[in-house]
Structures are given as C-alpha cells and as structure tokens.
C-alpha cells in the first residue's frame, strides 16, 4: 500500500496512506499542503489519524475534517475535531485492520498505528532517535520504545519529523564503534543532499543503530555513565541519561 510524504513546516512529515477502499491522513499539522496534494492527485481521504495532540500534528485537523467530511481518530480529547477516541487494541477502518499501540512518554497518551508492517509512530520513535519527554517519564518512554522495537524486522518506520542527521550525529557520539551508524550517516547525508526523505526506516535498522533501543549494550552503558557517573547499568537509567544528554547535544 503506498504511503505518501507531504512536507510541512521546517521538518514535519504529514503522511497519506492509500488503501483499496480509502486513504488516511496521518498527523496533519496544517491543512493547506494536504489540500493542495489531494487536489493534485485527485484523491479524497476517508479519515484522519492522530498520534498525539501537539499542534504541529493537529493544526490542520479541523479544517480537513470539515472540508472532506471525514472522521478523526486519536486518543486525546484535546485533538481538534476528534470524533473517534481510540485506545490500545484493534481498529477496523475502510475494511483494513490496524493495531493501536499505547506508547506514552513524549505525551501521556501518545499512540502509534501499526498496519500491514507499516508503523506510524509520531514523535515516540525517530530514525536513530526518540522524542523528548514532555509529559511522560523516562520509564514510560523506555518501555514504549521496547514495545515498538519488538515489532518485526521489516516493519517500515514512518516517524513525523526529519531529524535523522542530527540523531545520527548523537548516535555516533554515544556508540562510536558501531559500523551500522557510520554507513547510515553516509546514506542519510546523500539522501538529504538530493532533498530526499531519510524515511522510512525499518525496525531491524533501528535495533542495530538507534542508541535509545540499545540501552542494555555495553557501549551505551559506558557512554551513559561517562555523561552521568551515577547511571549504573539499569537500562531505564541508561535511557534516562542518554535522553538527558541528547537534550543538550548540538
């Protein structure tokens, strides 16, 4: 099933996922580029899926829902125009079966949608990184990332921002002897030079190169303790140290 990219703002991606019986808009932070894209491709969407309530993911929801007359799915009542509140479990939409995963951490009620080995994960998992902890705890985010990391190797990871180059620079600092990160950096630099997205990633690549999924690895434990000597080897504390380090990384 095709998944289309609609760039928005500085580094957001809005996605349109086509199915045989419909098309879903995922995390529309603004309406105008989506309306233009749908007009250009003569496509009428059938639903809007939101991963969380932040404005750069929901700012276009009401306008699009009203224009197309379509339902809005999400977990947070603050999502503008929400018509269908969803939680952990299965969701049937346009004769397709999606799995809704509760993945708190970035926000308390962040969700992800897994569909035919395609993952729309919003701001929880990024290519070579993860979201900031705005509402949730380090323990929540760690366990949410572990849930996503348990998905099949070939799961295509569609996150909501083009943060890959910055994330890989941090990953190379935190895990300096990892050859997968070195190769991934080369490929991502070339993609961005061609003005191409670095996404989707896949789960096998994330498990091999994303420091936030590798908090039990000796190299990441050493790096976390170099940043904060009180960290120890507990994976949640390692994650917390890495996340705090990344927050101040430039």
- Strands of the chain, DSSP E: 3-8, 12-19, 22-26, 47-49, 72-74, 84-85, 89-93, 96-102, 111-115, 118-122, 125-126, 129-130, 156-159, 201-202
Rg (CA), the chain: 18
Determine which one of 27, 53, 109, 161 is catalytic: 161
**106 classed as catalytic:** yes
Determine which one of 106, 109, 175, 202 is catalytic: 106
**143 classed as catalytic:** no
Q: Are 170 and 249 in contact (CB under 8 A)?
A: yes
User: How far is 64 from 72, CA to CA, in rounded Å?
Assistant: 10
Determine which one of 57, 109, 175, 202 is catalytic: 57
**57 classed as catalytic:** yes
Torsion of CA 173, 175, 179, 184, to 10 degrees: -60
Q: Are 51 and 73 in contact (CB under 8 A)?
A: no
Determine which one of 56, 109, 175, 202 is catalytic: 56
Q: Are 114 and 200 in contact (CB under 8 A)?
A: no
Determine which one of 27, 109, 123, 175 is catalytic: 123
Determine which one of 27, 52, 110, 175 is catalytic: 52
**Catalytic residue numbers?**
52, 54, 56-57, 106, 123, 161
């Amino acid at each position: 099933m095709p998944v289309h990219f609609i760039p928005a703002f500085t580094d957001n991606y809005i996605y349109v996922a086509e199915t045989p019986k419909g098309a879903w808009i995922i995390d529309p932070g603004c309406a105008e580029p989506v309306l233009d894209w749908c007009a250009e491709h003569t496509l009428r969407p059938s639903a809007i899926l939101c991963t969380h309530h932040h404005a750069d993911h929901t700012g276009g929801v009401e306008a699009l829902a009203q224009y197309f007359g379509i339902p809005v799915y999400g977990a947070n009542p603050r999502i503008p125009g929400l018509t269908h509140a969803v939680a952990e479990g299965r969701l049937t939409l346009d004769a397709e079966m999606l799995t809704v995963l509760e993945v708190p951490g970035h926000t308390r009620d962040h969700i992800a949608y897994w569909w035919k080995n395609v993952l729309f994960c919003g701001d929880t998992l990024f290519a070579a990184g993860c979201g900031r902890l705005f509402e949730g705890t380090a323990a929540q985010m760690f366990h949410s990332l572990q849930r996503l990391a348990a998905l099949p190797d070939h799961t295509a990871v569609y996150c909501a921002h083009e943060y890959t180059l910055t994330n890989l620079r941090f990953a190379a600092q935190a895990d300096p002897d990892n050859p997968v990160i070195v190769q991934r950096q080369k490929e991502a630099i070339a993609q961005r030079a061609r003005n191409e997205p670095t996404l989707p990633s896949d789960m096998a690549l994330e498990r091999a190169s994303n420091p936030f999924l590798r908090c039990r690895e000796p190299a990441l434990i050493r790096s976390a303790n170099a940043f904060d000597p009180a960290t120890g080897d507990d994976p949640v504390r390692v994650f917390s140290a890495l996340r705090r380090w990344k927050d101040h990384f430039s």
